[in-house]
Amino acid sequence: MKILLAEDDAPLAAEILRALRAENFALDHAADGEDAQHLGETESYDAVVLDLGLPKRDGIAVLQAWRAGGRTMPVLILTARDGWSDKVAGFKAGADDYLVKPFRVEELVIRLRALVRRAQAAGVSRIACGPLTYDAGLGTFERDGLPLKLTGLEWRVLSCLILRKDGVVPRTQLLERVYDGDAEVDSNSVEVIITRLRRKIAPAGIESVRGHGWRLHGGEG
């Protein structure tokens, strides 16, 4: 899953990025409103963590521009403004959740997972595909009822595929969702990850759709 963090406080941004990477999220970071708006308009994200007090363009204006442009990704607002009128303004602009500074990063992670679960799994907390089960709220996988051990990149690939099970996930979309924006990506890295996953999830399988991408299937038949 890929998250955009729009936060200009460098120490806080570094803390959030570390916490979200530890939870296996792929991340882009914007330190001002102009960059945040551009990324939100041109990239695909599972959710956005948006500070209201951004330089160059404030978070409310950025969010209003996204919603006016038809961008529907869930947005969690971060702000030091705890007045009711500020919260109302955020929700009217199109926010999905609101967290007041200072906050515990653990709470941010929990709220963010809840937003992603509702948006991507359409309120379904557990997704099954053959022997695999994915808990979208906890972010955990089971195979035949037992916990499935995955590396961070394996988890990112498999979660992206199972949320679109039986549908083809294009290569470019998988790369965008799996890797951080500043990561150096080897051309064969996804293939290597998929090869490892195929061994771990059998009899479920990952089908290569030539010229398009990959498809997760349950292995039936």
Domain stop point among 98, 120, 142:
120
Can you give the pLDDT at residue 124? Answer: 56
Whether 73 and 144 share a structural domain: no
Residue 28: CA atoms inside 13 Å, Cβ hemisphere, count?
Answer: 23
Percent of the chain's residues with pLDDT above 70: 91
Whether 12 and 113 share a structural domain: yes
Whether 19 and 101 share a structural domain: yes
Whether 7 and 27 share a structural domain: yes
* CATH code, domain carrying 182: 1.10.10.10
Whether 11 and 39 share a structural domain: yes
Whether 84 and 141 share a structural domain: no
Whether 91 and 133 share a structural domain: no
Whether 91 and 7 share a structural domain: yes
Whether 134 and 56 share a structural domain: no
Whether 105 and 10 share a structural domain: yes
In terms of residue numbers, what domain contains 178? 126-217
Can you give the pLDDT at residue 198? Answer: 94
Domain stop point among 120, 151, 179:
120
Question: In a structure prediction context, what are the per-residue pLDDT tens digits for the chain, which is 221 residues long?
Answer: 789 999 999 999 999 999 998 888 889 999 999 999 999 999 888 899 999 989 999 999 999 999 999 888 899 998 887 777 777 888 889 998 998 888 889 999 988 888 877 776 554 567 889 999 988 767 789 999 999 999 888 988 998 898 887 788 888 878 877 776 555 656 578 889 999 999 999 999 999 998 889 999 988 65
Please list, residue by residue across 79-114, b when 16 or more beta carbons sit within 10 angstroms of its beta carbon and e when fewer do.
beeeeeebbebbeebbbbbbbeeeeeeeebbebbbb
CA separation, residue 116 to residues 5, 48, 81, 129, 151 (Å):
14, 10, 24, 19, 20
Number of domains in the chain: 2
Can you give the pLDDT at residue 40? Answer: 94
Between CA 124 and CA 105 the distance in angstroms is: 25
Whether 138 and 82 share a structural domain: no
Q: What is the pTM of this model?
A: 0.66
Can you give the pLDDT at residue 11? Answer: 95
Tokens of 99: 């967290």
Whether 103 and 199 share a structural domain: no
Can you give the pLDDT at residue 174? Answer: 83
